[in-house]
Amino acid sequence: MTLTVVPDSSLLPDLSKVSQVDEVGVNERAARFQTRSIKKESKIEALHMILSMIDLTTLEGQDTSGKVSQLCQKAIHLHNTLPNLPHVAAVCVYPTMVGVAKKALGDHKINVASVATAFPSGMAPRHIKLEETRLAVEEGADEIDMVISRGAFLQGEYGLVFDEIAAVKEACGEAHLKVILETGELGTLDRVRRASVLAMHAGADFIKTSTGKIQPAATLPVTLVMLQAIRDYFYDTGRMVGMKPAGGISTAKLAVHYLVMLRETLGNAWMTPEWYRFGASSLANDVLMQLQKQATGVYQSADYFSKD
């Protein structure tokens, strides 16, 4: 979705009016999703959905074009012995690897997502962040995963954070913008909620929990608070914003419970890769093992699934 007007911080809502969050209540609700028992055909359907929502990710200092190419092969060929598997939604890499990924993925309908804006710390001048964003897009990135300036946010400089997101959004052009809040550095669920509201008003297409470099990364309670912020924004504006929990979701079982939470918070419209992603590197193989188990009835070993 492209905005015709670049929002500026005069459009920033009064964050002090954003609904408070009670941590214990959120934890209780999140725990309830985990009591859902997802079996049989609903489990297989969920596992396929999860695969299709994965942003297969490598964000290491040691990344090479070889590593990225292999990851792209994995994205295309998740597990060829299982028929009718979906492909993942995207491959997520650093800007310098966008070209490599683009080439490796060829005509496959798998997006290339690139982190940008001095990922993961975001500690760089704005013009450099914008330049990096434009470069990634020029290299062919379909999606940009930016980080917010947490320091500025914690200092209460909401206008600055807002303008930065809006500027990056403009720099993205046609590329979709995911805004990483790095919830592990925000400290409270109240701040997570406010940052979510801020990012959506500034033009985010997606909001995302974490870089994966900070603990805690995605959790069910944090994700729930962000989903509720998305719902309230939708109630108010009619605009759908996507959600991407990232980091720490490595088992199929946990990912299924994220889907349960999504379904019971935002409903069916969000249950597609267009509106929901998992940022993960090892989740795919656990999902594949579960699918193989469902197909064969036999519990699986990691040795039989390719690691790239």
Partner 1 sequence: MVTSSARIPVEKTYKIYIDGKFPRTESGRYFALKDGAGAVVANICRGSRKDFRNSVVAARKAFAGWSATSAYLRGQILYRIAEMLEGRQDQFVAELVLQGRSKRSAQKEVLASIDRLIYYAGWSDKYQQIFSAVNPVSSSHFNFSVLEATGIVAILAPDDDGLIGLVSNIAPAIVGGNTCVVLASETMPLCAVSFAEVLHASDVPGGVVNILTGFKDELTDQFASHMDVNAVVYADHASAGKIQTKAADNLKRVVARTDNKWTAESAQSPYLISDTQEVKTTWHPIGS
Partner 2 sequence: MDNQNKLAFDGGWQYAPAPESTDHITIDGQYGLFIGGDFVAPESGKYFESINPATEEVLSSVASASSADVDSAVKAARKAYNGPWSKMKAAERGKYIYRIARILQERAREFATIESLDGGKPIRESRDIDIPLAAAHFFYYAGWADKLEYAFPGKRPVSLGVAGQIIPWNFPLLMAAWKIAPALACGNTVVLKPAETTPLTALKLAEVVRDAGLPDGVVNIITGAGETGAAIVNHDDVDKVAFTGSTGVGRIIQRALAGTNKKYTLELGGKAANVIFADAAIDQAVEGIVNGIFFNQGHVCCAGSRLIVQESVADEVVQKLKDRMETLIVGDPLDKNTDIGAINSASQLETIESYLRLGQEEGAEMHQSSRDIPTTGYWCRPTIFTGVSQSNRIVQEEIFGPVLAIQTFRTLDEGLSKANNTPYGLSGGVWTDKGSKIFKMTQKIRAGVIWANTFNKFDPTSPFGGYKESGVGREGGMHGLGAYLRLEG
Give catalytic residues, as residue numbers.
Answer: 145, 208, 244
Give min distance, CB of 189 to partner 1, in A.
Answer: 8
Beta bridge pairs of residue 113: 92, 143
Give me the sheet containing 90-93, strands edge to edge: 242-244, 206-208, 176-180, 143-147, 111-115, 90-93, 54-57, 278-280
Interface positions with partner 2 (CB under 8 A): 19-22, 24-26, 28-29, 35-43, 45-46, 49, 228, 231, 234-238, 259-260, 263-264, 266-269, 271
216 binding partner 1? (CB under 8 A):
no
19 binding partner 1? (CB under 8 A):
no
Radius of gyration of the chain (CA): 19
Q: Which of 8, 19, 22, 156 binds partner 1 (CB under 8 A)?
A: 22
Candidates 16-24, 166-174, 262-270, 300-308: pick the segment binding partner 1 (CB under 8 A): 16-24
Name which of partner 1, partner 2, none residue 108 binds, using a CB cut-off of 5 to 8 Å depending on partner kind.
Answer: none
> Please, is 215 exposed, middle or buried when counting C-beta atoms within 10 Å of its C-beta (0-12, 13-18, 19+)?
exposed
Q: Which residues contact 211 (CB under 8 A, 6 or more apart)?
A: 59, 115, 119, 120, 147, 180, 182, 217, 246, 247
Name which of partner 1, partner 2, none residue 52 binds, using a CB cut-off of 5 to 8 Å depending on partner kind.
Answer: none
Helix (H, G, I), strand (E, B) or coil at 55: strand
Candidates 24-32, 34-42, 80-88, 201-209: pick the segment binding partner 1 (CB under 8 A): 24-32
Between 8 and 23, name the residue whose CB sits nearer to partner 2: 23
Please tell me the distance from the alpha carbon of residue 281 to that of residue 70, in angstroms, as a whole number: 13
Give min distance, CB of 25 to partner 2, in A.
Answer: 3
